[in-house]
Chains A and B, each alone.
Chain A
Amino acid sequence: MKHLPILVQKEFFQMWRDPSAFILAFIMPAVMMLLFGFCINMDTSTLRVLLVAEDESPPVHGLIEAMQGSDCIEVQRLTDREQALQMLHTGGAHAMLVIPQQAAREAVCRTEPELLMATDGTVPNTARFAAIYLQSICERWRAEQGQAVPLDLRTVYRFNSAAESRLYIIPGACAMVLAMVGTFLTAMVVAREWERGTMETILATSTTRAEFLLSKLIPYFLLGLGALSVCLLLASLLFRVPLHAPLWAFYAVASLFLLCVLSMGLLISTAVKSQYTASLISLMLALLPTMLLSGFVFELSGIPALIDYISYLIPARYFCPALTSLFLSGGNASVLTFNVGMLALSAVCWFGLVLLITPKKLDS
């Protein structure tokens, strides 16, 4: 290990000379956090609803007022169904509600009033929200007409609760940032040694494989922790997502994850030896699965079994739940035990694999 200090020093010199690593480690996390925090919003802020009231009798006014009074829908009144459908079709609104001629009478006469609702299925999430929300307004209105109270009347839909989804977006963003710094940066730096021919110089010396790998691991590990701190600061100061767990626990879990992604990066660049290919592969093997299969953007409950199995290979699958738990509840013992254990296991596996395939000679 006597070569390690000078190799690490070299790595820092190179980082210093080529600030793109710093940009990736400190600016990117901030940008990603802001993007994820503000732009990926699972809730819908304002629903645009078209209202066609063919029945203008007093009971219907109650319904119209109820809709117009809501903060989260923006009602536009039209007189013609066809026109409304046309608007829905062109994306001018998320949903439309038609109150037919007999609606008020039907409601009062204890028969089922027939209201027509249509939503824009091209934006399924929003459509679902619109449907549920409109339904609840209608049911409340029916209840006000003195009718039997449907069972789910008291269901509360908390719209406009952007902070709610941030609670799990933020830990996901942390995972993305770490995967980025870990896999992407390390994949680039080892491939760079091959591409520029400097690997030949290193191989011609008595530098061991472990020394070489650690010299790549240590600087980028520190850089990753730096990036993580940026995430943490933004999460607590800007997005008001406080960390309930102690700091050491947060950093310990993150370190395990970092080891996994760093090893993946080393593995990729050792295998392909070209910066361009390494960056593409790390995008496909590290960033996309982290985003898609960790459960932070997409629910994992609905995915096919095969892909579910694959997702167990992705370290982010363990990291995201562990981190969410640390952020929100300060750490749930059963969640943590399983996920942290699996993280440690994947770290060992990935790093072992790297050690195994790093060549000792030029042509292997």
Chain B
Amino acid sequence: MLAALSDVHYRYKSEPKEALRGVSLGIERGEILGLIGPDGAGKTTLMRLLAGVLTPSGGSLQLPVAGEGNSVGYMSQRFSLYEDLSISENMRLTAALRDIPTTQADAETGELLRLAGLEPFAERLAGKLSGGMKQKLAMICAMQGKPQLLLLDEPGVGVDPVSRRELWKLAEMARQSGCSIVWGTSYPNEIARCDRVCVLHEGRVLYLGRPSALTDALKGRVFTREAAPEQRIPLLRRLQADPEVKDAMPEGGHVRFLLRHAEATPRFVAEGAVPAEPGFEECFVDLLGGESAPSSAPAPDAKRVGALDGQEVIVTDRLTRRFGSFVATDALSIRVRRGEIFGILGANGAGKTTAFRMICGLLPPSEGRAKILGIDLRREARKIRSRIGYMAQKFSIYPNLTVLQNLRFFGAVYGLPARRLRAAIEDSAERYELRGVLNSRAGELPLGTKQRLSMACATLHEPDFLFLDEPTSGVDPLARRSFWRRINEMAAASVTIIVTTHFMDEAQYTNRMVIMNRGRVIAQGSPDELKRAAASPSCPDPTMEDAFIHFLTEKGATS
């Protein structure tokens, strides 16, 4: 046993509730321990205790060699290196601060830079690196001095799949040299690579053991069922309302669902369901007891259903935006049909947000045009603006106002008359489960609730077009699920939705999507089409992430 926690408690000074409520956990030598849990579960607090930047308020904590700087390498959740220092300066600084002898540090630096593929950029300022490169730099800084314990707090968040694979490669390498790794994450799919996994929830350990044991427990309870595009939402709704079904989500042209008990299997198989391999996301949902109120969503407005006429309502023609000599978005042409959920997928900096802002008329294009219902946004944006809902990347709500005040403000901004506003707020509070927090300050809400509020603010005026920029960034799987359930409801009510994301599995929930890289579209189609196109002899049944990497490496090499 390299490190051990027994009955560890921690409470932050400014918080009434304990962040950790009696955590006991041992870290074995040479293992990768996945630390997963929803937002606010206590992952970061646990990491900080292990890193020694916090001291437990109760319980005992046994660390490798107390006081030795290089026994523990810590990579915090936020990028915490100096942006105004170069890569090599940062490495020299962290090595010296962690008491690694200069000769050893110098010998290591070259090797680490090479492994991370950062060698050509050694003199570049850290602030000028891409998100993925920054994470790799932070990771190799933590790996300096060959620590016995490497603490990585959500290294994969906000990083494109290619960089994420490189981060894993680095971690594997550290493990081979005998290092134990704690890998914090909120992506369930990442735990497949861990030796053991610890699921944290509300400051307690919910599960500790091998990841395969988690999926094994779900064997025989996961099914998929094919559905034609127009049947998908009704099927999804039916399944979600079924008392035997614990969880249901779209997956390309299928609907994937989890049963509460295997006994109900015959009924669903008779309806055409096919057994499927359980995924970690379902394990997570299962462990946490499913969504809080999966079937309470009010049915969509009846008069709007049925307007799905296949009309192309959003059309862009070679939409281009330059910033100086830099082309952020290059000749983007898309056609989105009414009631469609259209995804713009890409790594950070691929040009998603720029494209997105031009489509909804917030940013004038350098070339090309975007039309919604045939109206050119460059000229007559005002005509259509009241029918557009927009949710910005960094939830643009006022942190100092209460939830109710935020809703009132945004309703007023969209010009809702008082009576309609009251009704709309009533409705939103119900639909987005905000009733209990109406008088709390928005800034103090957990991330998932903030996201619901932000969504409620963007949809108060019942827009026909909804633009969502990275709506689920940093939100845990449960919150993401309820978010997508609402999106599906709205699409069924013929609201047209454009959503950007860098979560690969989220792309499965869209009807069609484009994959962007360096401002260009490198692939487009439905999730199933894209996965099929990416299939190869070595990878006959690719996941969305495999497909993404396939297109990125194939097209990236030619450009």
Contacts and interface: CB of A to CB of B under 8 A. Distances in A.
B53 A203 contact: yes
Given A197-B79, A201-B94, A207-B97, A361 B53 contact: yes
B83 A196 contact: yes
Interface string A1-33: 011001100100110011000000000000000
A10 B93 contact: yes
Contacts of A363: 12-13, 54
Given A13-B85, A204-B52, A205-B69, A196 B99 contact: no
Contact of B85 (A10, A207, A361): A10
A202 interface: yes
Contact of B96 (A3, A200, A201): A3
Contact of A362 (B54, B72, B99): B54
A155 interface: no
B78 A206 contact: no
A198 B81 contact: yes
B82 A10 contact: yes
A204 B89 contact: no
A3 B97 contact: yes
Interface string B46-85: 0010011111000000000001110010101011111111
A7 B89 CA distance: 11
B84 A201 contact: no
B92 interface: yes
Given A200-B76, A204-B74, A361 B54 contact: yes
B13 A205 contact: no
B381 interface: no
B98 interface: yes
Interface in A162-199: 196-199
A18 B54 contact: no
Contacts of A334: none
Given A204-B51, A364-B13, A6 B81 contact: no
Contacts, number: 75
Given A6-B96, A10-B93, A201 B54 contact: no
B53 A204 contact: yes
Interface size class, chain A? 20 to 34
A2 B12 CA distance: 32
Nearest to B83: A196
Contact of B55 (A196, A205, A206, A361): A361
Contact of A197 (B51, B78, B99): B78
Interface in A336-364: 361-364
Contacts of A2: 99
Interface of A: 2-3, 6-7, 10, 13-14, 17-18, 196-207, 361-364
Give 9 closest A-B pairs by Cβ, nearest first.
Answer: A197-B78, A197-B80, A205-B97, A6-B96, A17-B84, A206-B69, A362-B53, A203-B53, A201-B80
29 contacts: A3-B97, A6-B92, A6-B93, A7-B93, A7-B97, A10-B85, A13-B84, A14-B85, A17-B84, A196-B80, A196-B83, A197-B80, A198-B80, A198-B82, A200-B48, A200-B76, A200-B80, A201-B80, A201-B97, A204-B53, A205-B69, A205-B97, A206-B97, A206-B98, A207-B97, A361-B54, A361-B55, A363-B12, A363-B13
Interface of B: 12-13, 48, 51-55, 67-69, 72, 74, 76, 78-85, 89, 92-94, 96-99, 125
Given A10-B93, A17-B84, 19 more contacts: A2-B99, A6-B96, A7-B93, A7-B97, A10-B89, A17-B85, A196-B82, A196-B83, A197-B76, A197-B80, A198-B82, A200-B53, A200-B78, A201-B74, A201-B81, A201-B94, A203-B53, A205-B94, A206-B99
